[in-house]
Amino acid sequence: MEITVFGATRGTGRHVVEQALAAGHHVTAVVRRRLPDVPGLDQVVADVMDPRAIEEALTGRDAAVSALGPRGRGAGSVCADGARSIITAMRETGLRRLVVVTASGHVVDAGDGPLNRAVVKPLLGLFLREGFADFARTEEAVRASGLDWTIMRPPRLTDGERRPYRTAVDENVRRGITIARADLADAILATLDDEATIGHTVSVGY
């Protein structure tokens, strides 16, 4: 599969690139500054916020992954603006498959237990208000895109070792409060060619 990854140099995106290459996929990383050469990895140096600049990275590919994330509190709308730019470029190039990472923290649903609903998530919402608002706008843009989208919703991300994880479609993973970035990357790659996830959210957690 030909996969383009945004947010490829850090966190989850880096794991997506590494695992995709290890699995034999051809990967294009959209980066702000060129990385050392890696076999099987193409690099496009471009501003993700400029749709025309990223069209080259999407032309002829099979799927795109956005692992863009907020850069701390007060980060504005990096994820939503990036998603809108990617969507615009995908429409121009004819690429349809899109997987976008947001989070489970801004969503309260049937997968959440009473403590999460009443205490944990309201508190998170106070401290991470801007980031959660950015994720909500991101999801709104993705849902309205008309593309073959899937939204990945992880809980708190860690750099822990890989281990078995659970997934849930269109609701949060019950008691799933953490996930290693490497396992999230594994779930993203599994989702890419799973047509049953198109038009749905997929939550992950332990």
Q: Taking 80 as the threshold, does the pLDDT of residue 38 lie above it?
A: yes
Number of domains in the chain: 1
pLDDT at 112: 67
Q: Taking 70 as the threshold, does the pLDDT of residue 87 lie above it?
A: yes
Distance of CA 164 to the CA centre of its chain: 20
Average pLDDT for 42-64: 97
Helices (H), the chain: 11-22, 51-58, 78-93, 114-115, 121-127, 129-143, 181-192
Look at residue 117 and give its three-state secondary structure. helix
pLDDT at 176: 87
Q: Taking 70 as the threshold, does the pLDDT of residue 73 lie above it?
A: no
Look at residue 100 and give its three-state secondary structure. strand
The β-bridge relationship of strands 148-153 and 200-205 is parallel
Look at residue 9 and give its three-state secondary structure. coil
Instruction: Give 177's pLDDT tier (boundaries 50, 70, 90).
Output: confident
Higher pLDDT pick, 118 / 50:
50
pLDDT at 132: 80
pLDDT at 175: 84
Higher pLDDT pick, 130 / 14:
14
Round to whole Å and give the CA distance between 135 and 75: 11
**5 closest CA partner among 78, 76, 49, 63:** 63
Q: Taking 60 as the threshold, does the pLDDT of residue 118 lie above it?
A: no
Higher pLDDT pick, 68 / 114:
68
Q: Cα Rg for the chain, rounded, in angstroms? A: 16
pLDDT at 120: 57
Average pLDDT, the chain: 90
Rounded percentage of the chain residues whose pLDDT exceeds 90: 75
Helix (H) / strand (E) containing 197: none
CATH number of the domain residue 172 falls in: 3.40.50.720
Q: What are phi and psi of 178, to 5 degrees?
A: -140, 165
Q: Which domain holds residue 169?
A: 2-205
Round to whole Å and give the CA distance between 86 and 93: 10
Q: Taking 60 as the threshold, does the pLDDT of residue 126 lie above it?
A: no
Distance of CA 20 to the CA centre of its chain: 14
Average pLDDT for 158-162: 96
28 contacts 5 by C-beta, under 8 angstroms: yes
Average pLDDT for 22-32: 96
Q: Taking 60 as the threshold, does the pLDDT of residue 102 lie above it?
A: yes
DSSP 64-92: EEE-----STT-TTHHHHHHHHHHHHHHH
Average pLDDT for 160-182: 94
Q: Taking 80 as the threshold, does the pLDDT of residue 70 lie above it?
A: no
Round to whole Å and give the CA distance between 136 and 130: 10
